[in-house]
Amino acid sequence: TPGEFNPLFGVNVEVFKQEATRNIETEHRRQPLSIYRHTGLSEPGLNSSTSESTAPLQPKMAYIDTYIHSSKTPCIDDDASEEVKGKSMEENQQHKMANAKSVGGISSAAVIHVCKESIKSAEYSSQGDTSNNMDTFATATLANSSFSPYSQPVASKIANSFPEVRRSNDVASSSLFSPIDIFTEATASTKSASSLYDEALLDKVRLARNVVQSVREIVEIQPCSTKQAGQPVAVDAVLAHKRREEDLNSLGEDLYELFSGIKLSDFDAITDSFAAEEKKIPQHSQKKEKRGKVSAANACIPLSDFGLPSTLCSLVHNLLEYRIDNGQQWHVYESSRDVEEDLCLMAEKPELFLSRQPARGGELCLKEMPLYSREEDASKLMVAFDRAASLESASSITDVVFVTGYSGTGKSALVESVQRRFEERGACFVTGKFDLMQRLQPLSAMVSAMDSYCNKLAQDRAEDAGASITTAIGSEAGVLATLIPNLSKLVSEESETYQSAVLPAGCDALQRLIFLFRMLFRATCSPAHPVVLMLDDLQWADQVSLDLMQALITDSGITGLLFIGCYRDNEIGEDHPLKSSLHAIRRSSCVSTTTIALENLSLDSVNALVSDILCLTPRMTKSLAEVVFRKTGGNALFVVQLLTSLHDEGFLRYSLTLRRWDWDMTKISGKSIAGNVVELMRGKLMRLAPEVREVVKVAAAFGAQCQEALVTILDRAPDCIMSTGAALDIAILEGLIMKSSESVYSFSHDQIQDAAYRLIPKAERAVFHLRIGRLLRNFSLDAEMEAFLFVVVDHLTRGSHLITDCDERFDLVQLCLLAGQMSSSMSAFPPACAYLKAGIDLLVEDDWEQHRDVCLDLYIYCAETEYALGEFDYMAKCSEEVLRRARTLKESARGYYIQVQLMGAQGPSGTEAAVDRSIATLALLGELFPIDTNPALIGQEIQATLGLFNAETDKSILQLRNMDFCEKQEAMRLLNFLIYYVIAGRKKEYFPFVASRMVRLSLLHGYTRDSAYGFASFGIVLCGLMGNRAGGYRCGKIALALLDRFQATEQMAKVYVSVYGTVNNWVEPIQSCLDCLKQAHNVGLATGDTKHAMAAAQVFVGAALCSGQELGLLIDESESYSNQMLEYKQHTIYMAFVLVKRAMLILRHGFPGSPKRIRILMEEAMDNKNAEENCESAPTYPYYDMLTNFYCMWLEYLFGEYELCWQTAQKNKDISRQSIGRFPFLCTHFFYSGLAALELAQKHFKTEYITAINEAITQMKAWATSTQWNCQHKLDLLNAELAHLKGDEAGAAELYDVAIQAAGKHQFIHEEALAFERAGNFYQGSGDRKKASFCFRKAHDGYTKWGATGKAAQVQEKWGLV
């Protein structure tokens, strides 16, 4: 019916009728309506009596047959005899073949004739093998022609194409060449008819392809030289051109007949009929028009009037119109090969080139465009994914792909094009996009990606993922839930609420966040559940996001992760933060990096893109593509936007007459085009309605993305004229903006956002942002204000200098403070610092009188963020301002605390200054410390505290109240901080003072969260320095109880290191403390206490080595820990850790040359690591000297250098003080120094040796009373060696056996092997070689079991074991 969309024509019927009527006056031969007028037939699709389901093609074909048969034409009547039909067809075929032969080639008509007759043979044959009938008849027909030498292979090729056609014969029943009979059922639905027609049409296209291919092959293989002797070359060229013209015209005529079922010769009768009809019309109503020669294309009904696809119609039309003027062709087809290639394209992509649905509404189709010249790049992405998701791949390698290129080259499109392939292979695909306008909104892209990831986990495997996350992160999941709202769908409410009450500050907060993100991926990502994380526009990423990205990529514990990062390499210089991150990632040994550098599209690719958009073959669009390529340089985004602009301006339009896209090449070539995408889009934006353009500018002020909730807030304004959402919907229709399923408006490209933002004059941008900020601030609900705090503050601060109202100004100050605190808690220190500085800049003098707390908080938080960033100059200014403005002791203490942090960050010299400043500040708080210390003063301090401690029972101590004295709370906080500096620096003598004072303040004034660490530290003092192991063990128990009382997880790492790394070793087996030290490491990372997390790792490895844990596993763990220390920039701990690593490697692999090289190797370890990691030179702390001497002494004894061992032990006499009473160090030192003295005393009976022996045995006896597990076997071996020295062979033999049994029983396998070795040495000296050999073999086996294969090899070589 009129006004409806016709599925055949693909256009509005009424519109088509109007346009067709206008064209009748000038080209009535090309319009079917003129034929309707002469024949009296109804117009197809317009007859109201015909149901919509009736196939519109049938009446169209019916009127053609009626008209042809009613005219006096030479065509065969339906009632004619078969004899006449056959004769006419035979004569016609002979005529065509003769014409073809005259130019030296075979006409396509001959091939088509073979096809027709072969199909007839198949249709009318009796039941049997119809394919054989076809093949036989096709061969026979061509064999009878004059081209029989070349006919057999061609006939076979044509016959092979018939099965494609026969698929539709069950429905289409008879003639392949006329679509009339396909729609014999008039009542069939439009949808069914359309699908049948599509199938039949595709079969015809395939047949046409095979026909053209056969013609080309015949022409190529036959001898076709037409040049005669003595004929000029010019004449020969003219003949060749003439032949090509006739061949292509003839091919066009035959293809026309193939697709329409009508011969062009039949239209001569139609022309005569029109002439006769025109004579009957009065002369005054006829328009006098001079008509030229009518071409074959203009003398027939266009194929488009049969409902055929426009691309196919254009191909046939171009062949019919093929002309050569002066030897220069003006058409797109040069040969039958070109025609064949286009037909192949149509057959391969029927949905694109054979679609009967033209552009709806005349709009360009720009969605789901395929890749152009990017197939190899896409395959690289898939290869990287296959490696990441492979169960057989190395679990420690993370695959990373960086996609680089200029803006608009299609980086994001490349990744998105393979998204479906990722998801089909079971991947979870998540994306995040950084935004230049949102750089002050910390972790925006990472949080967006992770929120989407958690939402997908909740939908796909909530129970499994939730349990894994809870196990991995525990109570700290609540920290991430504040950043990632959808995480609450996976974790329980208990996990969200139970977290550290005191959040870490500075770099500790960043490390905590990194750890939690890592554990989240470790828990949910695996080769069985792979994840593809794509971050776009990395050139705009904030430093925290880059740190987090680098940590995730280089984490060897995360498997099944493919990371894809896109960035504009032309926008990052050498000093760009992204450069250093990329360098670190590429240097990592656990990362496999692939870089894909995208360039602009080539001309062929641009042509392919234009071809797909316009649904025309590349040959038809080449001229347009060349102009587009010349004006855009092949930039993909520029190409698409230019085509859109040409369409908007009418230079590129959809023609209803041609039923295809058409363009004016002259106007396009002469059009002045903007030099870049931004300027081009600016012009398009200016053509929008003013109210829509204003809303688009508002959206651009938010950045590349804008949440729908923000739009809703803006619409609440009473002066809102047009709905912001409605205006954005118009922008969506214009292709400028997209709306995702997550209620987020996004610009189609950031270049469009840039163009929209540039519409705001620079001088007016501050006013523009301030207006948006005020609207958001005034009309947001409380929950919305909390959610969009960063957005509101960002807009307000951009126009803050325009604020004149005092209340509004101070309200913004408070918002800046809140935004700074929130950013700092997320470890986003650069934006936090920017917010806090903006708040400071808004302060006036009156604010210090009316709002002192807010002013102080601004400066103190700003100083803390500057401390995390390493900006110590501004940090010093903040502390000076706080001290200058301070009026109370509490306010001053906060300023001094900043100064202590500042000094402690300056290196070794700063550490001593930090201790001095802390002592001075404590004096102001009423806690006096002596300037100079000595053992007497230390003893007095310890005894004073011990008296208070012993006066209370454990029950009464734990029942004490919490501290409520503010000054003492500040003192406890500063003392807790001071312990780190006295241990790490040179003033270790203050450690007993600090630990004792913390316990005393807690016992006198109540407990704080810092009290647990105070009791743990005091336990170290009692055990290691005072020898009061029972009292120290009791302190450790109280420290753990206080930790539980306050749920002080932020204190757990340091308390566990003190209790399980030192205190409990004096009483409990060392092996029992190892798991707790590992827990301390994990909790420290989770809470952001990275210093003590790494300290826990160092203590764990040292204790595990001393307790005889298997070296192979321990070395692997040590490698992981050392990487973490470097990553978290804990270089002080790392330099100590390399010593224990080197000691283990020497035991494992031995060393070249003499054992005298052991010290050289140990010292080189520190020097090499310094150079490798670009650290400062190794500190000269006595602590490092103590560690070097300790491990050298141990190794020198094990490898038989007893004299060196003795000398090294003498250098470590101060080990008790330097090790702060760590039991494994003290016990091992006395044990091996005593053994060395016993060995040397066998040769030289010196007093110093005897003194050392007695001291070692006495000390070991004392320790064995409290920790028999750790010391009894050591004492037994010392006594056995002493008996040997005294000549008591029977007693020595017995004691060796006791030592061996005790060491094995207590799981010290390395010292069991040592006892065997010493026993073997004893039996070797006494002449019992059999027992000696047995002991040496057991020693070898023990060292091998320990993993010390280097030491085992030395035993084997030294004692001649086979």
More confident residue, 658 or 186: 658
Range scoring the smallest mean pLDDT among 127-131, 597-601, 1012-1016: 127-131
The CA distance from 1101 to 1106, in Å, is 9
pTM assigned to the model: 0.66
The CA distance from 266 to 278, in Å, is 19
pLDDT (tens digit per residue) in 1251-1273: 999 999 999 999 999 999 999 99
Beta bridge partners of 532: 429, 562
Where does 72-107 have alpha helices with state H? 82-102
pLDDT at 1274 over 90: yes
The CA distance from 541 to 568, in Å, is 12
Neighbours of 1254 (CB within 10 A): 13
Say if CB 536 and CB 375 are below 8 A apart: no
Range scoring the smallest mean pLDDT among 322-336, 510-524, 678-692, 1189-1203: 322-336
Please identify which residue in the block is written with the tokens 């695909």.
Answer: 429
DSSP letter for 186, please: T
- % residues pLDDT > 70 (the chain): 76
pLDDT band at residue 249 using 50, 70 and 90 as cut-offs: confident
Distances (CA, A) of 421 to 207, 349, 368, 402, 416: 34, 20, 14, 19, 10
The CA distance from 417 to 409, in Å, is 14
C-alpha dihedral sign at 1038, 1042, 1047, 1049: negative
Beta bridge partners of 5: 12
Count of H-run helices and E-run strands, the chain: 65, 12
pLDDT given at position 277: 60
Beta bridge partners of 660: 655
Q: Residue 818 CA to chain centroid, in angstroms? A: 31
End-to-end CA, the chain: 103
pLDDT at 710 over 70: yes
What pairing do the DSSP bridges indicate for beta strands 737-739 and 744-747?
Answer: antiparallel
DSSP output for 131-161? HHHHHHHHHHHHHTSTTGGGHHHHHHHHHHT
pLDDT band at residue 1112 using 50, 70 and 90 as cut-offs: very high
The CA distance from 140 to 377, in Å, is 51
pLDDT given at position 845: 92
Angle formed by the axes of helices 935-950 and 991-1005, nearest 10° = 30
More confident residue, 1290 or 751: 1290
Report which residue type is found at 1039. Answer: A
Q: Which range, 2-11, 279-288, 793-802, is most confident?
A: 793-802
DSSP letter for 871, please: -
Indicate the helix (H) or strand (E) that contains 655: strand 652-655
The CA distance from 899 to 882, in Å, is 11
The CA distance from 692 to 690, in Å, is 5
* 389: nearest Cα among 523, 532, 596: 532
Report which residue type is found at 28. Answer: H
Half-sphere exposure of 560 (CA within 13 A, CB side): 18
* 1001: nearest Cα among 1032, 1031, 966, 1028: 966
pLDDT given at position 1086: 80
The CA distance from 819 to 182, in Å, is 72
pLDDT (tens digit per residue) in 718-773: 877 678 888 888 888 888 888 876 678 888 888 888 889 999 999 999 999 999 99
Say if CB 1303 and CB 1231 are below 8 A apart: no
pLDDT band at residue 263 using 50, 70 and 90 as cut-offs: confident
The CA distance from 491 to 733, in Å, is 40
Distances (CA, A) of 941 to 503, 991, 1024, 1038: 33, 11, 16, 20
Structure tokens that stand for 33 in this block: 């309506």
pLDDT band at residue 360 using 50, 70 and 90 as cut-offs: low
Contacts of residue 1270, defined as CB under 8 A and 6 or more positions apart, other chains included, come to 1065, 1069, 1070, 1223, 1227, 1263, 1306
pLDDT (tens digit per residue) in 931-956: 888 888 888 999 999 999 999 898 89
